[in-house]
Amino acid sequence: MIKTLNTLFVTMLGLGKIPKIPGTFGSFVTIILLYFFFHILNLTSNVILIILITIFIFSFSAVAHHIKDNENKDPKEIIIDEFIGQSIPIYLYEISHGTEKSENEALIFYIIIFILFRFFDIVKPFPVSFFDKNFKNSFGVIMDDVCAGFYVVLSLICFMILSSYFI
């Protein structure tokens, strides 16, 4: 029973079992969930932060348990790391903009964040590649996506700074 629940958690309710591009599906479902939390349910950023931190902390144990007897230490069905990495730029976007944005603006930023996250998660620039190659455990599985999420944040900050000079 616990093993089944753990598998459901790390595969985002089985979404990771999709044969083609499960990480992309996990990232896409993440943006839908977070949009729903922020814009439909209007949950406070503190409640969402508690949810995200809880998932982040529990993920280390859940992923470790899932890969314990697996030869592949980063199987494609584990997509909770995509949820964590994708959540970082979305959460920071939401708290940095507060209520001063239209729903259309939020949708545009969510799409940009999704595309950038998938790019950095697939291309794996340093240090994303460092964690991916050197840590064959739950830490490496999760931290490469965390780094990809922070690359998105850095990219958006650079874009906003540069655009402020030209607008």
Q: pLDDT band for position 155 (50/70/90)? A: very high
Residue with tokens 């999709």: 18
Mean pLDDT along residues 59-67: 94
* Number of domains present in the structure of the chain: 1
User: DSSP of 13-25, one letter per residue?
Assistant: TTGGG-SS-HHHH
Look at residue 41 and give its three-state secondary structure.
Answer: coil
CB 22 within 8 A of CB 16: yes
Per-residue pLDDT tens digits for 123-151: 999 988 898 888 888 999 999 999 999 99
State yes or no: pLDDT of 167 exceeds 80: no
More confident residue, 48 or 100: 48
Sign of the CA dihedral running 57, 86, 83, 107: positive
pLDDT of residue 69: 78
Q: What end-to-end distance do the CA atoms of the chain give, in Å?
A: 57
What is the residue range of 73's domain?
Answer: 2-166
Instruction: Compute, in degrees rounded to 10, the torsion defined by CA atoms 16, 17, 22, 25.
Output: -70
Q: How far apart are CA 127 and CA 143, in angstroms?
A: 9
Taking only Cα atoms into account, the Rg of the chain, rounded to an integer number of angstroms, comes to 16
Per-residue pLDDT tens digits for 65-111: 999 877 776 789 999 999 999 999 999 999 987 766 677 888 999 99
